[in-house]
Amino acid sequence: MPDVRGAPIVNQRVRLDGKFFRAGTERFVVRGVTYGSFGPNQAGEPFPEPEQAGRDFDLMVTLGANTVRVYDIPPRWLIDAAALRGLRLLVSIPWRSESCFLDTRNSRREARTAVTSAVQALDHQPAILAVALANEIPPDILRWSGAHRVGAFLDELVVAVHDVDPDCLCTYSNYPPTEFLQPRELDFITFNVFLHTRHALLNYLNHLQILADGKPLLLGECGIDSRREGLARQAEILSWTLEATVTAGLAGAIVFSFTDDWVRGGVRVEDWAMGLTTIERERRPAFTSVQSRFLAPPPRPARSPRVSVVVAAYNAAATLPECLDALLQLNHPDYEIIVIDDGSIDDTPRITAKYSTVRTLRLKVNEGLSRARNLGIRAATGEIIAFTDADCRVDPDWLRFLVSGLLDSPIAGIGGPNFLPPEDPPLAAVVMTAPGGPVQVLLDDRFAEHIPGCNMAFWKWALEAVGGFDPVFRTAGDDVDLCWRLQRRGWKLGFTGAGFVWHHRRSSIRAYLTQQAGYGEAEALLLTKHPANFNALGSARWQGRIGGSDTVWPWRQPSIFRGIFATGMFQTLYTPASEGLTAIVASLEYHIVVVLPLALLALSMPGLWSATLIALLLPMALAGVAGYSTPLARGARGRWWARPVLSFLFYLQPLVRGAARHRARLSQPMGSTEPSTNLEAESEAYEAASTGAAERAYWSATARQRRDWVERILAALEDQSWPCRADQGWSDFDLEIYGSQWNRLALVTVAETTRDGAQVLRCRLRPRWTLPARMIFWGTLAAQLGLIGLFQVNWRGWWIPIVTLAALGFFYRLQARRMQARIGVLLDAVARGWGLTLIQPKGPDTAEPESAHPESDTTRPAHASDGKPWMPSESDTGTSVAKETEGPAEGSGKGIS
């Protein structure tokens, strides 16, 4: 019997733990080697003789390995020998996966039989880490059979395995040429990757982490041929490969291979030397290199900056103990926990009093999420400030990945994913899959446009530079606003797939819809501050890809880059980023602008009822397609009601969120979205005169750059907190200015050269109705037409809609003139600050001819003052950096590109 003293006997099965594995109470990080395939032993088994296998396992224990990957079904003696030494087996089930196995019913049956028979033979042994259903199905097979069909068949195999052994973990060993094959039911993701460039490997592992989403990612094979690359190179590459797997937050790695003694197709492989040992089991330098990585603790950064973890809590007694208990178990040497009790009236104060190592600051009344977090920022003593919510449970390595990401990249902040706790009820799992949840928006595999507030960390200097969170956001939207303001400064946000938290979702439909209404109200506030980040419907317009958006519409199938003749080494799946017409049809605006007018008109024209019914059923049908094509979270699978409820939520969510958004926008007092100005008297004088509101013209003795002129206007608008957006190359305006619920102004500029070599800079302020204004106008028209038809009003009654719409249009026009006048005052001030002279208009919307001269009396501005002219604070530089203090009310211009 080999000496295995000190090796823990395997008696517990490995289970999933978010992005990692767990055995009992300990995290299980896979440190493995491949073993085989071998020629038959004396018993005809495709493994070495038991004595040799025992010696090999002892050497693996010396290596520091805890996992052995085999490519045949192990006999019971091999399983017992591994368990006795504390080793676990990842079993790749052999069947003809390299054939066109979907072509015939018999081949599919043979595959199912091979898989289920293998799982039965493994007999629920705790030493079995998992089974791999197949290994590296060739890309031409996938193209022949169809990747979707193959993925669905692998999902069927997972179900078949769980029918035999519900606790058996299942995976599929994928590789870069078939990256697009993404079965949904796998317990964890496995990729075989052989890359010999450190930077390329780390980037690709980060990419695979995004693909893996909420599942553990295992590097199933990694290695290098010492015969071609040399022994030293083999040792070096394996060392930094294993380091990269830890840095990228993988669940482990398996080195290919333990020994050069392996066969393929019944023939010994002799032209490759990828083993850590020779055929005679002599150790190579790579053995020592891998051993040092396997036995070493997780690498720590060169320094460990102090971190302040801020938790804002309001009536959080139900989940706060779980949150604090998890925070106290973090693997970081220097951190503090700060709880901001935002005026709770439940048992939250009593709970926080039990945690002596937790700093608690209490607000007398509920002041909102942003003010609570800002109080935490002021109280923090760390270089880094991390945020999570009171209904979250952080992973023990949460800070390790967030901090290392901040230290390794030039970013101001970083975030990670949030997953549904496995103990949450099934309805919460349905809500997890429903649209509109707190998810990240990724620009690529490493950088984000938005990171959710329940899992984010920032350098303290970055938070102080932008004034922290804006207090106007009381319950939601604060994280979105902060992310956009940081990026407007030119700073980047990072993302790590391994730094995750468990986040309890709403466990009832009412709570979910209430949450979505709150998000809609927050969007109304965000629209006022960041209009450039919203589309015409008032929904956020993201540049990146929204995390968790796995709905695959039949008319938006992803495309695959296969390479010529399906021979590409990295065959990637590309999914269209925009839903386009689908999102429009699902929106509240569609129901108001299309469905409601059709219904009203159908009252007087019955022939329109069929069109009305089709228009109404269309968004319902889309919701049904979404509900039945979106993958369900694990806790909701097998529930007959899950997909109908999910379809119901897909239908209601945009309606509830849109209604709350428009209600919040319309509930603002008239003019509340317009910034105050100390030039109100001049504005009123211009408005009363009703001259020169739509167009302005300014004279300059020397030529000026029109771009500089526009940038100065943009800086002035931002300095006075006018929401605006700049042309990015596709618009028919230079700037679009937002200032009321009813109108926005499109600013167009032009530079003219006069006959005497001077220059005239002209500005036109073209009013445009906002979406709420258009909806009210056309909705009023449709409603009145419907009522006229319903009550059979004669032709004399048509004056009612005509007068009503005329009055409404006149009201919009008055509001537009008011806004034009105020912006005109600002333009005049910017012009004076730049040495330009206003050309006196002759009449409404008409300016002096281009020959006007500044020395004549007629060219003096009507509002000229002998005092010092007002000048924007940043107009000397022409920059568009807004002043940002706590709770800034800033615009959204991004400069001129």
User: Is a pLDDT exceeding 80 seen at residue 799?
Assistant: no
Report helix angle 771-790 to 799-833, nearest 10. 170
pLDDT by residue (tens digit) across 745-770?
Answer: 899 999 998 888 889 999 999 988 87
pLDDT at position 581:
74
pLDDT at position 887:
40
Question: Confidence band (pLDDT; 50, 70, 90) for 850?
Answer: very low
Rank 45-59, 547-561, 841-855 by mean pLDDT and report only the highest.
45-59
Query: Any idea which of 3-7, 168-172, 262-266, 886-890 has the lowest mean pLDDT?
Result: 886-890
What sign results for the dihedral spanned by CA atoms 407, 410, 412, 416?
Answer: negative
pLDDT at position 808:
86
pTM above 0.85, yes or no: no
pLDDT at position 551:
64
User: Is a pLDDT exceeding 90 seen at residue 601?
Assistant: no
Using only the alpha carbons of the chain, give its radius of gyration.
Answer: 33
Question: Confidence band (pLDDT; 50, 70, 90) for 437?
Answer: confident
Question: Confidence band (pLDDT; 50, 70, 90) for 360?
Answer: very high
Question: Confidence band (pLDDT; 50, 70, 90) for 565?
Answer: low
CA distance 786 to 601: 5
pLDDT at position 172:
97
Q: Looking at residues 208-229, what average pLDDT do you find?
A: 93
pLDDT at position 873:
37
Query: Any idea which of 477-486, 508-517, 537-546 has the lowest mean pLDDT?
Result: 537-546
Rank 263-272, 329-338, 543-552 by mean pLDDT and report only the highest.
329-338
pLDDT by residue (tens digit) across 856-889?
Answer: 333 333 333 333 332 333 333 333 333 333 343 3
Of 421, 500, 629, 572, the residue nearest 216 (C-alpha): 500
Q: What share of the chain is helix, strand, coil (3-state, %, to 5)?
A: 40, 20, 40
pLDDT at position 893:
34
User: Is a pLDDT exceeding 60 seen at residue 890?
Assistant: no
Can you spell out the DSSP letters for 327-388? Answer: HTT---SSEEEEEEEES--SSHHHHHHT-TTSEEEEESS---HHHHHHHHHHH--SSEEEEE
User: Is a pLDDT exceeding 80 seen at residue 824?
Assistant: yes
Total count of residues recorded for the chain: 897
pLDDT at position 141:
92
Report percent pLDDT > 70 for the chain. Answer: 85
User: Is a pLDDT exceeding 70 seen at residue 269?
Assistant: yes
pLDDT by residue (tens digit) across 405-421?
Answer: 999 999 999 999 999 99
Mean pLDDT (the chain) is 84
Of 759, 740, 737, 725, the residue nearest 827 (C-alpha): 737
CA distances, 409 to each of 447, 541, 644, 646 (Å):
10, 26, 44, 39
Give the alpha-carbon dihedral of 729, 733, 736, 740, to 10 degrees.
-150
Residue 266 burial (CB count, 10 A): 9
Q: Looking at residues 122-149, what average pLDDT do you find?
A: 93
pLDDT by residue (tens digit) across 4-36?
Answer: 444 567 788 999 999 999 998 899 999 999 998
Name the residue with higher pLDDT: 89 or 718.
Answer: 89
User: Is a pLDDT exceeding 80 seen at residue 430?
Assistant: yes
Three-state SS string over 549-578 comes to CCCCCCCCCCEEECCHHHCCCCCEEECCCC
Q: Looking at residues 326-344, what average pLDDT do you find?
A: 95
Query: Any idea which of 188-192, 288-292, 475-479, 566-570 has the lowest mean pLDDT?
Result: 566-570
